[in-house]
Chains A and B, each alone.
Chain A
């Protein structure tokens, strides 16, 4: 009897945590994207939201990426209210005025529901950087560009 009650006690403690987990995944995969998903780019029906994450996955505004420090990206692809079936194929960044790109090769991991995580970016100089997202949807390839100013 005693042991059963304690087992129930454990369950009671875990239920809210479990619920919280589902709620937050739904929130992350929410389409259309909102401010919490970062900056928004569109190409036709496709919407791409991206958000930089610093060490320890601390989110920062796309205007506040620090210079010469590695960061990751959370990317969300949507089509209206639905998660997009398209996939993020490539991501790169260049300094058009300096005619060079990054010193590091980012890697993309698909997380499902139109979500992707990109690791290993670094903007090693101050100035204008142009990020390019290459998204493939069937035979369609779209390139979405975003300029950021690094100080």
Chain B
């Protein structure tokens, strides 16, 4: 219950003198101050399901070098090395720029050719079930191999990869350490191994806790004072997100994604006259991929990690569905959506507010209705979304520790690594123009 004291002033005239009188009124409302009142037990239970953060880290059972220090260092070096690409100018970091939340700020990616999809950020990438906007990969290492081989992105191959590793003694040493053999272009496992090393490094990218996480903890502790310290707009936005907005139906759990796919009416036409089939194509791609979890490169002998792939079920509605993205760290990863078509979080909230039901599939979601939000409700929802990013820019992860027995090599190849870093930077600025 919240109470307010009002002073109501009355002016009344008696003969020639005006009098001002103040009458104090006590007005009380039962939790009626929309959005700012305490959260209900039901709401708190739902808020609790969006944590804890960070989630407990788990090794990838399908990747035998997950957590292996030599592989993590190798992965870091390769991620920043343009030598994997056919033109020796593009590295993973060209598009996944560490200082931009590991994306490029462009609507759609530019590699050897122009792409049709937005580059996703890579913070917390290891926590997903499906990779790519269409979920065309069922594991992080095969998603990391795709750009190396894709003629539109890096256009690399096994031969180039093996000679890159052999040509830099630290890389060669790290590879031998992680995989127990020399990098060999004729080895059927070479590309999978390289991708597993890059994946092992990406698994270490876990973003810090946010204002939302602090609010959640305060609510679970029952610390009313700490809860009240959070901006009212954030709290109102959170309530809207869980309630009328129904956002958490899809943006669920600690990552704010259920890891599945949906159609929210973002156009999927691609210039000049194509369409992006989204999940429909993704299911086909994942099943055709020799590096999927049903294949021999999966290091989990039990194949328990392949349940999702084994039980895939194509449906008509998959056409035009895209992955439900995580909502963490969005402050650093504009523009938004699979095609980068929305520039700001405000644009995204406008999209949901005015959603065009005719654009949704006839057999699509019935939960998306235009929300017709007021300007202040839009502000609230944006405040909430912003509270899912750390307030200070995230620390760019530096190189992982060196491996003792590859140490001598590291010093010798360090000069080369710096040269690569410089070329990455110059490519970034070219993209900016």
Residues of chain A touching chain B, judged by Cβ–Cβ distance below 8 Å, are 55, 67-68, 70, 97-107, 119-120, 122, 124-127, 151
Given A98-B366, A99-B366: A124 touches B317 (CB 8 Å cut-off): no
In this assembly, does B46 line the interface, its C-beta being within 8 Å of a C-beta of chain A?
A: yes
Q: How far is the CA of A36 from the CA of B367 in the complex (A)?
A: 36
Q: Which residues of the other chain, B, contact A102 by a CB distance below 8 angstroms?
A: 313
Q: How far is the CA of A124 from the CA of B249 in the complex (A)?
A: 9
Min CB gap B379→A, angstroms: 26
Cβ-defined contact, A124 with B311, below 8 A: no
Q: Which residues of the other chain, B, contact A151 by a CB distance below 8 angstroms?
A: 45-46, 49
Complex interface residues of chain B between 196 and 236 (CB less than 8 A to chain A):
none
Q: How far is the CA of A36 from the CA of B178 in the complex (A)?
A: 47
Q: How far is the CA of A102 from the CA of B49 in the complex (A)?
A: 21
- Excluding A103-B261, A125-B250, A125-B258, 10 further A-B contacts by CB distance (< 8 Å) are A67-B258, A97-B366, A99-B366, A103-B260, A103-B313, A105-B311, A106-B311, A119-B311, A124-B260, A125-B252
**Beta-carbon nearest neighbor of B362 in chain A:** A99
Complex interface residues of chain B between 244 and 303 (CB less than 8 A to chain A):
248-250, 252-253, 258-261
Cβ-defined contact, A70 with B317, below 8 A: no
Cβ-defined contact, B310 with A120, below 8 A: yes
- Cβ-defined partner of A104 (8 Å) among B252, B253, B311: B311
Cβ-defined contact, A107 with B311, below 8 A: yes
Q: How far is the CA of A105 from the CA of B366 in the complex (A)?
A: 22
Q: Which residues of the other chain, A, contact B21 by a CB distance below 8 angstroms?
A: none
Interface residues of B, dominant DSSP: loop
Looking at A70, A103, A106, A127, the one whose CB has the most chain B CB atoms below 10 A away is A103
Tally of B interface residues using CB under 8 Å:
26
Residues of chain B touching chain A, judged by Cβ–Cβ distance below 8 Å, are 45-46, 49, 248-250, 252-253, 258-261, 304, 307-308, 310-313, 315, 317, 363-367
**Beta-carbon nearest neighbor of A67 in chain B:** B252
Q: How far is the CA of A103 from the CA of B311 in the complex (A)?
A: 9
**Beta-carbon nearest neighbor of B45 in chain A:** A151
Min CB gap A73→B, angstroms: 13
**Beta-carbon nearest neighbor of B46 in chain A:** A151
Q: How far is the CA of A100 from the CA of B307 in the complex (A)?
A: 21
Cβ-defined contact, B45 with A104, below 8 A: no
Q: How far is the CA of A119 from the CA of B363 in the complex (A)?
A: 26
Min CB gap B262→A, angstroms: 9
Cβ-defined contact, A104 with B366, below 8 A: no
Cβ-defined contact, B310 with A67, below 8 A: no
- Cβ-defined partner of A70 (8 Å) among B45, B261, B307, B363: B307
Min CB gap B42→A, angstroms: 9
Given A102-B313, A105-B311: A68 touches B365 (CB 8 Å cut-off): no
- Cβ-defined partner of A126 (8 Å) among B249, B261, B313, B365: B249
Q: Which residues of the other chain, A, contact B248 by a CB distance below 8 angstroms?
A: 126
Looking at A55, A106, A120, the one whose CB has the most chain B CB atoms below 10 A away is A120
Q: How far is the CA of A82 from the CA of B278 in the complex (A)?
A: 49
Given A68-B252, A126-B252, A151-B46: A104 touches B258 (CB 8 Å cut-off): no
22 A-B interface contacts by CB (under 8 A): A67-B49, A67-B258, A68-B252, A68-B253, A70-B307, A70-B308, A70-B311, A98-B365, A98-B366, A100-B317, A100-B363, A100-B365, A103-B313, A103-B315, A104-B308, A105-B313, A119-B311, A120-B310, A120-B311, A122-B308, A125-B252, A151-B49
Q: Which residues of the other chain, A, contact B45 by a CB distance below 8 angstroms?
A: 151
Q: Which residues of the other chain, A, contact B259 by a CB distance below 8 angstroms?
A: 68, 124
Q: Which residues of the other chain, A, contact B310 by a CB distance below 8 angstroms?
A: 120
